[in-house]
Amino acid sequence: MATYVDREYFIPLQLKDLIDFLVDGKAAKTPTRTLAGAEGTQFRQFAELVQSHYHRSFHQKFRDLKESYGHFDPDTDTPSLSPLPADQRDAYLKNLYQEVKNLMLKANYRELTKEQAIATMQGASLWGLEMDVCWDVFDHIEIFYRGDTTGVRTIRRWWKLWMKEELVVPEFNRLVVILKQRPHSRLGHSADTKSVYLKMFKDMPKPDMEMVLPGTRVMLSSLDKGMIFYPVFSGLAIVLYKVLADLIGFKDIFALGTAVSLSWSLAAAFAGYSYKSYVSYSNKKTSYTLQLTQSLYYQGIDSNAGVFHRVLQEAEEQESREVILCYFYLLKVGGPNGLTDRELDDLIERELEDRLGIKVDFEIADAIYKLEALQLVRKEGDRYRAVSLEQAVRAVEQSNTQSSPKSSGWSLLDRLAGKIT
């Protein structure tokens, strides 16, 4: 069974496209109709039932998460009639953080530790400025990502006559931050330290990750510091030197007055240059902030409770994709003899790569468990054999009818808790 360090479990296919690919061979490099007539229709029915099965369970989980998050949601306009007791907040917060972490990992996100985040954000941003992140402003922070890829950004440099230049930059396809703030001078007196914030971004360049964190400040480069402070200190030193020299060396009151006037003229000139340097730096920082704001406007996907909805939808669709793919290849390729989990894993990865150009690390153990839970496979020794399409449709229909939404699929996450919590 092949393992990859440069691939992810996430399968980047819409469910409709996946089903069309399996049944009709659509979008494949070598289109081949696999299921024709009544068999194709029945497989589509099976796929719809699988989607309904996971939709019910994940919808219930969304309601549970939304209820738990309601006590800490900064956007809520429906305050609870039973406020959370102060002595229970820590326990509720701990449970909420664990629920969110389990959800993110179930949706095939990976956690970025503080140490990894610091290493990732090292160096100047694409806009040439360093940012200082103060980790002390956070009472709790967790960062999750999916899709460790590269992207292309267009910038202009003055020494290249402001001509457009395309840069390949490392980025995360999806980035989710969950945080709770604590009182700190960097946040000011009006900072909300009781709520829990969730933010979701797309196509986030790694050096720019720091810009999405509160309490971050722009750091002066050595050149910027020199442009601002050197004229000030050098001008002040020259003025003091001139004044002292004039006071010691001149006897004539008129000559002394002329010298002092000249000294103050020099001081004014240096002060003007210093002010110009500071304004130049301020304009640079303002331009940088504007670029960040414009970038975040297009990169921000969702906030707070909306993040739950998006991630749950991603997890729901991922569950469906895994079951549909796994059952299909067991049915069509495994035949009466079936396949081992190693053979099935390699087959699915090879088919997706060769026919669609999609490289994934298929999560075979989780997929097999879901098939067994839905009674879609029979295990004989180390081999798995798919039940017929008629039996598969009946099995999923029966599961949808008999099981409650709360126990009909999210229990998979509970089963994996030992691995991912």
Residue 180 contacts residue 196 (beta carbons within 8 Å): yes
Residue 381 contacts residue 343 (beta carbons within 8 Å): no
How many whole angstroms separate alpha carbon 184 and alpha carbon 163? 42
Structural domain contains residue 103: no
Q: Are residues 228 and 191 in the same domain?
A: no
Q: Are residues 416 and 311 in the same domain?
A: yes
Q: Which of 161, 195, 219 is the last residue of a domain?
A: 219
Residue 196 contacts residue 178 (beta carbons within 8 Å): yes
How many whole angstroms separate alpha carbon 60 and alpha carbon 413? 13
Structural domain contains residue 102: no
pLDDT recorded at residue 264: 61
Q: Are residues 260 and 328 in the same domain?
A: no
Q: Tally the domains of the chain.
A: 3
Q: Are residues 315 and 350 in the same domain?
A: yes
pLDDT recorded at residue 225: 61
pLDDT recorded at residue 158: 65
DSSP code per residue over 288-310: HHHHHHHHHHHHEEEETHHHHHH
Q: What does the pLDDT look like over 109-166, one tens digit per residue?
A: 999 999 999 888 876 566 556 778 899 999 999 999 999 888 887 777 766 777 887 8
Structural domain contains residue 346: yes
- How many other C-beta atoms can be found within 10 angstroms of the C-beta atom of residue 283? 10
Structure tokens at 72: 């800490």
The parent domain of residue 159 ranges over: 108-219
pLDDT recorded at residue 235: 60
Q: Which of 368, 369, 375 is nearest to 400 (CA)?
A: 375
Q: Which of 286, 318, 341 is the last residue of a domain?
A: 286
Which residues of the chain fall short of a pLDDT of 70?
1-6, 33, 123-129, 158-159, 219-271, 273-278, 280-281, 284-285, 287-295, 403-421
Instruction: Looking at 70-171, list the stretches that DSSP marks H as alpha helix, in order from N- to C-terminal side.
Output: 89-106, 114-120
Region of 128 on the Ramachandran plot (φ > 0 left; ψ -120 to 50 alpha; else beta)? left
Half-sphere CA count of 138, side-chain side, radius 13 A: 16
Crossing angle of the two packed helices 37-69 and 89-106, in degrees rounded to 10: 160
Q: Are residues 231 and 205 in the same domain?
A: no
Contacts 24+ apart (CB under 8 A), 330-335: 330/371, 330/377, 330/384, 330/385, 330/386, 331/386, 331/389, 331/392, 332/34, 332/35, 334/383, 334/384, 334/385, 334/386, 335/385
Query: 345-364: b or e for each residue (b if 16 or more CB lie within 10 Å)?
Result: bbbbbebbeebbeeebbbbb
Q: Are residues 113 and 215 in the same domain?
A: yes
pLDDT recorded at residue 289: 67
